[in-house]
Structure 1
């Protein structure tokens, strides 16, 4: 294993691509772990894989039309998130929808690539991600998510807490469930697509799901879970990035292993027997109407 000297590490940190990657990871640590809280709360773990395939379809369309592939991936994922929202009305609608979406998206992507004659290897390469290739547009996207996602949670924290706890309870309490579910699924889709550039589609859990899983173990309400998720995300992203630079390792896998280690450590903390059931519901008492 190659080790970068302290002086060389300091020089690395002066490079614009490295600084941009660090800023992107810091912004991602604010918005994306909160998206992970939604994924865990709605029990839609397959959404990461579904959106990876949808993003591939968007990339294929971008390569075919000459538009920016990642912009097309973001738009396609946002439309897919909005499209599956109505299926959330049934108990297992979302989990089934993700499997259907995954199959249709990959089939459509391969068809577009075949018809267009575009090099499929080039399209798939965009899904592997590279933190040091992050551009200004990616930073702006992550910055927007860092503002919008926590703002939505704080603005509608009671409604979100009830929805993540029990859909029927949220409906009976006057929560606009359909509109809120639509908003959350669009945010999830865009966030997952935005994270692809940082770690790649296969390693996106390091930025979203793993901090949320650790936070759910430590938090006692939606607010505390969200704060824990952001704190863990910041610690994991910055420490993992510095370790990768220090030992000349690929940042993506290091981030995943760092996040995984924190998650495993969090699960060593004794848990109250009823905490996982009541964490979301404890945000505020339901309405009486």
Structure 2
């Protein structure tokens, strides 16, 4: 554990300030994406997109292009390509499994054939909040604007689609186009987030706040609002705790978000049970 003087000195360092800004932007953009993941029941998509992002990074290293940009573009294409299967009886599970396996296989092959240093690609798996750069901030800033704007613009259509796809179609919602948009958004958001916590820990700002918000919020708007509040609290508290304890921020964020999700799911149920017994 560090002293207060060391802590304040760390807060004055540019990498820490960029990390804090990135986490706050991520707390606005990523928890609502987690609400989409939960609502569309596409939890395995996270793993498929993580592997696609690794492939995109490998292609970037091979071609000399920016690995992050390549990962974002490839993830967007992958997310959009899954959309036609969303309404099929088989759903997305099989396709996501195939995509995940092929992506990691091709990524390893590209890295092997090219002979480039694979560390840059595999850094996506582990992430490093304190290595956040201006381009990462820019991606998160765009997502922090686009994601809430989409919820505000399409809140009725989103509520119908997440509740019942067939009902949404009967109500005039263009389910096909909206599904493409949502899957592309989810894929790009995951790719943009993995620099903060790493692909293996990306749930800290996506899925876990959304799961907690599902227990606390009423309706889609309530879930989105709660997810942002919880995501922001977890982001700042997790970063500060990691600095004070001198530990990696990623695992601290996941542990803290996990505790919040568990508490949020247990206490409302306990309160409801107590109320039911008292009324009885």
* Residue of structure 1 equivalent to 2:28: 30
* Residue of structure 2 equivalent to 1:145: 143
Find the aligned partners of 2:252 and 2:89 in 1 and give their Cα distance: 37
What is the aligned counterpart of 1:186 among 156, 180, 184?
184
Find the aligned partners of 2:145 and 2:163 in 1 and give their Cα distance: 24
* Residue of structure 1 equivalent to 2:263: 265
* Residue of structure 2 equivalent to 1:241: 239
* Residue of structure 2 equivalent to 1:62: 60
1:243 deviates by: 0.6
* Residue of structure 1 equivalent to 2:254: 256
What is the aligned counterpart of 1:134 among 125, 132, 135?
132
1:147-168 superposed Cα distances (whole Å, 9 cap, x missing partner): 1001101110010011111111
1:271 deviates by: 4.2
1:219 deviates by: 1.1
1:32 deviates by: 0.1
**Bigger fraction of residues in helix:** 2
CA contact (8 A) 2:124 2:199 kept: no
1:201 deviates by: 0.4
* Higher deviation after alignment, 101-110 or 255-264: 101-110
1:191-237 superposed Cα distances (whole Å, 9 cap, x missing partner): 10111100000000001000000000111100000000000000000
* Residue of structure 2 equivalent to 1:276: none
* Residue of structure 2 equivalent to 1:279: none
**RMSD of the alignment, in Å?**
1.2
* Residue of structure 1 equivalent to 2:212: 214
* Residue of structure 1 equivalent to 2:9: 11
* Residue of structure 1 equivalent to 2:163: 165
* Residue of structure 2 equivalent to 1:49: 47
CA contact (8 A) 2:27 2:205 kept: yes
1:121 deviates by: 4.5
* Residue of structure 2 equivalent to 1:205: 203
* Residue of structure 1 equivalent to 2:122: 124
TM-score scaled by structure 1? 0.91
Aligned pairs, how many?
270
1:71 deviates by: 1.1
1:223 aligns with 2:184: no
What is the aligned counterpart of 1:107 among 95, 99, 105?
105
Find the aligned partners of 1:22 and 1:76 in 2 and give their Cα distance: 27
1:107-129 superposed Cα distances (whole Å, 9 cap, x missing partner): 22122122212233442133211
Find the aligned partners of 2:49 and 2:257 in 1 and give their Cα distance: 21
Specify every segment of 5 or more residues in structure 2 that has no aligned partner in the other structure, as ranges. Answer: 271-280
* Higher deviation after alignment, 170-179 or 101-110: 101-110
Find the aligned partners of 1:116 and 1:19 in 2 and give their Cα distance: 36
1:93 aligns to what SS in structure 2? coil
Find the aligned partners of 2:89 and 2:160 in 1 and give their Cα distance: 16
Find the aligned partners of 2:111 and 2:12 in 1 and give their Cα distance: 40
Find the aligned partners of 2:240 and 2:166 in 1 and give their Cα distance: 45
1:11 deviates by: 1.0
1:40 aligns with 2:38: yes
Specify every segment of 5 or more residues in structure 1 that has no aligned partner in the other structure, as ranges. Answer: 273-289
